Structure 1
């Protein structure tokens, strides 16, 4: 979750609310300095390198990194003449990005006439994330979107009794699940593989990607499609869930301490697409460019 994405407080689908006597505007944009060095690689070359990146949180969007134009290689942006209008930030010019043997049409943009209250957006350019080869903080690749300082994951072990059933058949039962708390989302319960009846699972071809956890694979249970998922090689920061399995409570019966779990606000997740050339092994050898 970010401030403006999924169930974030500025997203329009927030699970909480601001305790104010008057309603807030329908849409709120929030910008702040990232305070991290960020670089962009395209066509096998570095085209942007800045310690003054501005992160824009906009309802319904992942956070977007805006680079000072002075920190972008001069020949990397090719004017297209295309212009659109952003509902809050005004006229927007679009660029083709070119470097090395790479060329991506309409892959960068700049709000050329931001209103006075958004003056910090002036002179800054953003790049379409999946059109670039990769983004880095220092020498480590960042996948999915600009790292969101308001996103947090905590994993806790517990001795609570978790049971998963398909009718009369027990699919999983454990007193050693781990629970994953992720900003803005309902808790997710993960079961060690040893406590799951793996014969009840049929592999599903579905794969999804989470910028904070990695690549997930899925299984069916009889007619319950994609009811089970796992991160076989979770990012190092959440390695404790690697190989564990989790169960979708709106697709299969999940009981915690005898109480059936129901789909809660914050459990529906919008899948994220893969970055260009994403290699899972890359995250096991961070720093090697």
Structure 2
């Protein structure tokens, strides 16, 4: 009998955790050792953390590789008190796993992913695809749609991009990003940097900085040279942080949005 939508809804714990049973086959690997091999993962959202994490039934975790943590942290993971160090492939990873302090999740073990760069496993897979940074959120959409809208981008009054061939990328909870063909961007006004970021929905991005005057944040232009299949249409195209540049779409100047990236960019919203 198929599961009804109401039966798949997100649950809430008294501690403020949100969780939902998952249906993907998830594996976590440290070196050459498979530490997690789960067909019954649980997605968990902690208060204040916008992306989900996975917790796994104990029987689907190599618990023989876990040891009580020698120096467990405090005040993390919604008050978790049980932490484990991982010993695998000749390496010890401190506080690599923990148990959430919620009765609903007492039989599950959670692992650090890549939001903490100093810990966690080396590789994670959903089905046979490697996943980076954090688990994908099943309630988040990322749609890349070719368009004929007229998009102009200015920095400090200088026109740096002008196109009628953008790809609009719509990502839940973020402003629309405009991916522009490289020939429609004044690439001579930018210099490549060593900065890179990874996204579980799009892939790994390269960055460029503005060659012009001061006051413009670095790394405000990016591109995905080898994007994931679901957004292959953005391959090689260039996008700007709406938070730091002035974008005009079909003759209408857009407001600069305030997003989680605004603080790191050091930008302030600018309205029409």
Q: Do Structure 1 and Structure 2 share a fold, with TM-score over 0.5?
A: yes
Tell me the TM-score normalised to structure 1 length.
0.74
The answer for the alignment partner of 1:218 in structure 2 is 207
Instruction: Report the alpha carbon displacement of residue 87 of structure 1 after superposing the two structures with TM.
Output: 8.4
Instruction: Report the alpha carbon displacement of residue 246 of structure 1 after superposing the two structures with TM.
Output: 1.3
The answer for the alignment partner of 1:176 in structure 2 is 165
2:104, 2:263 → 1: CA distance? Answer: 30
The answer for the alignment partner of 2:20 in structure 1 is 32
1:104, 1:87 → 2: CA distance? Answer: 17
- Alignment partner of 1:123 is 2:97: no
Change (3 A) 1:74 1:250: closer
Q: Is the 8 A contact 1:213 1:235 kept in 2?
A: yes
2:160, 2:251 → 1: CA distance? Answer: 15
2:198, 2:262 → 1: CA distance? Answer: 11
Match of 2:257 among 264, 267, 271: 264
The answer for the alignment partner of 2:40 in structure 1 is 52
1:29-74 deviation digits (Å, cap 9, x = unpaired): 2111111121111131112212121111112223111111122123
| 1:132-281 pair list within 5 angstroms | 132-166=121-155, 169-221=158-210, 222-223=212-213, 224=216, 225-266=218-259, 268=261
CA RMSD of aligned residues (A): 2.6
- State which drifts further: 160-169 or 180-189: 160-169
Alignment: residue pair count? 241
Unaligned runs of 5+ in 1: 1-9, 11-26, 272-289
1:120-174 deviation digits (Å, cap 9, x = unpaired): 2012111111421111223322211122111211112221111123456432111
1:230, 1:56 → 2: CA distance? Answer: 31
Tell me the TM-score normalised to structure 2 length.
0.79
Change (3 A) 1:164 1:93: same
Instruction: Report the alpha carbon displacement of residue 75 of structure 1 after superposing the two structures with TM.
Output: 1.5
